[in-house]
């Protein structure tokens, strides 16, 4: 494409009507130009809300329904850019070739303008689109993308409270609050894993509308509480535990509770909240306890999990008879090693026996651990502690 012809995209998006008309007269073939995303000049008017430029291009024969490389049309781009005047123009004058309302047109990912508008922080654009629907959407698939996500998923993942509320209350959209996508994630789960201040209000809105959705699990067996803990989303953890009464004794597919997730991250705050609600230092399907995971990253978190009701500390063994001390040595966690030497002295077997040759189960959020050299754990601990003290001195 010649540079002069390519300038039509600038004139369509930024120029005046007269400038655009002059350019078309000078370069008539530029009218049918496409950019690197296969968008027409008319689509560029949607990016900047140039209503008058759009009217000119429509008179010249361009169509609202020309698709870009991803199957999106001008209304998709107008919605993304909140181009209100162009959106109203399309909704008032445009008729899709298939007769589907413009707000329900899908791109190749099954995303409609309603999905896009649902991601905005307020419901201004979404309200305009939804109000054009004169009757109830009866086919559920019309409002699901290729991953099975409804607009509520999009609003929840963006923590848009206004959009969530509008979508839930709309009778014509007829959306399910607990709709599951292909990964078995509900909108509530999408919001639980987002660390934004407004996530709490969205979680409370969705949780109170559909309380039975709280124990729902993803394809990996995770609940909303698992996801909130994994994201270190403490305000949402509080809301799930204290206001929505989310079940805590639910395991994922590896038989891990939310406490395993908190322990693996060394998240003291989450560990305190979960243990206060009754979660114990249980073992997963690899026979590894929460304390073992904590021993790799945080001595304080491990201590919380090993503490008994009497105030003392009790070591635990995994399925291969490995103690938290061994896990701490393998990970080189000085704090955990020093704590265990003082409060849970290792046995003669642990001091003299070589470290396990096989690696422990992979941490929840990390790559598999390397094979451990056959050094005595106590000897390795002495090396770590000596090096640590040398640094301090």
Mean pLDDT by 10 residues, the chain (393 residues): 78 96 93 94 98 96 96 98 98 85 96 98 97 87 94 98 97 93 96 96 93 85 96 97 94 97 96 96 96 95 93 92 92 92 80 54 51 52 57 55
Architecture of the 1-94 domain: Alpha Horseshoe (1.25)
Q: 116: phi > 0 → left, psi -120 to 50 → alpha, else beta; which?
A: alpha
Fold of 132-247: 1.25.40
pLDDT value, residue 373:
45
Residue 177: both structure tokens together: 């609050």
Q: What pLDDT does 372 receive?
A: 45
Q: Provide the H-helix boundaries in 298-333.
A: 299-306, 324-331
d(Cα 143, Cα 100) in Å, to the nearest integer?
A: 12
Rounded Cα gap, residues 112 and 382, in angstroms: 61
CA angle 351, 357, 362 (to 5 degrees): 105
Q: Give the whole-angstrom CA distance, residue 54 versus residue 46.
A: 8
378, 346 contact by CB (below 8 A) = yes
Tell me the C-alpha distance between 204 and 209, whole Å.
8
Predicted pLDDT of residue 363: 55
Coil, helix or strand for 3?
helix
All CATH 1.25.40.20 domain ranges of the chain, comma separated, are: 1-94, 132-247
User: What is the dihedral sign for C-alpha 269, 274, 276, 277?
Assistant: positive
Backbone angles phi, psi at 289, to 5 degrees: -85, 170
């Amino acid at each position: 494409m010649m540079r002069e012809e390519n300038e039509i995209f600038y004139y369509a998006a930024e120029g005046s009507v007269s400038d655009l008309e002059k350019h078309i007269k000078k370069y008539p073939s530029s009218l049918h130009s496409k950019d690197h995303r296969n968008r027409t000049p008319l689509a560029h008017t949607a990016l900047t809300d140039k209503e008058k430029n759009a009217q000119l291009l429509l008179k010249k024969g361009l169509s609202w329904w020309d698709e870009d490389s991803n199957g999106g049309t001008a209304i998709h781009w107008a919605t993304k850019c909140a181009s209100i005047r162009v959106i109203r123009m399309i909704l008032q004058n445009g008729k899709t070739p298939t007769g589907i309302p413009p707000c329900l047109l899908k791109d190749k990912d099954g995303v409609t303008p309603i999905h896009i508008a649902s991601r905005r922080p307020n419901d201004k654009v979404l309200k305009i689109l939804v109000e054009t629907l004169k009757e109830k959407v009866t086919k559920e698939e019309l409002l699901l993308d290729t991953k099975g996500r409804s607009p509520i998923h999009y609003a929840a993942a963006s923590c848009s409270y206004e959009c969530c509320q509008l979508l839930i209350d709309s009778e014509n959209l007829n959306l399910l609050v607990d709709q599951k996508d292909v990964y078995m994630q509900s909108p509530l789960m999408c919001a639980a894993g987002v660390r934004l201040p407004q996530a709490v209000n969205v979680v409370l809105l969705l949780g109170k509308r559909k309380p039975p959705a709280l124990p729902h699990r993803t394809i990996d067996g995770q609940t909303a509480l698992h996801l909130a803990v994994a994201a270190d989303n403490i305000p949402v953890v509080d809301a799930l535990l204290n206001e929505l009464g989310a079940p805590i004794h639910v395991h994922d597919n590896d038989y891990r509770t939310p406490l395993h997730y908190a322990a693996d991250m060394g998240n003291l705050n989450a560990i305190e909240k979960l243990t206060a609600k009754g979660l114990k230092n249980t073992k997963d399907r690899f026979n590894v306890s929460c304390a073992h995971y904590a021993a790799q990253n945080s001595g304080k978190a491990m201590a919380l999990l090993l503490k008994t009701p009497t105030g003392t500390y009790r070591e635990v063994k995994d399925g291969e008879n490995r103690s938290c001390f061994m896990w701490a040595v393998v990970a080189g966690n000085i704090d955990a090693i020093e704590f265990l030497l003082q409060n849970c002295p290792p046995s003669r077997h642990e001091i003299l026996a070589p470290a396990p040759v096989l690696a422990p189960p992979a941490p929840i959020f990390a790559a598999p651990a390397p094979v451990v050299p056959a050094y005595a754990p106590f000897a390795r601990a002495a090396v770590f502690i000596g090096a640590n003290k040398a640094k301090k001195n």
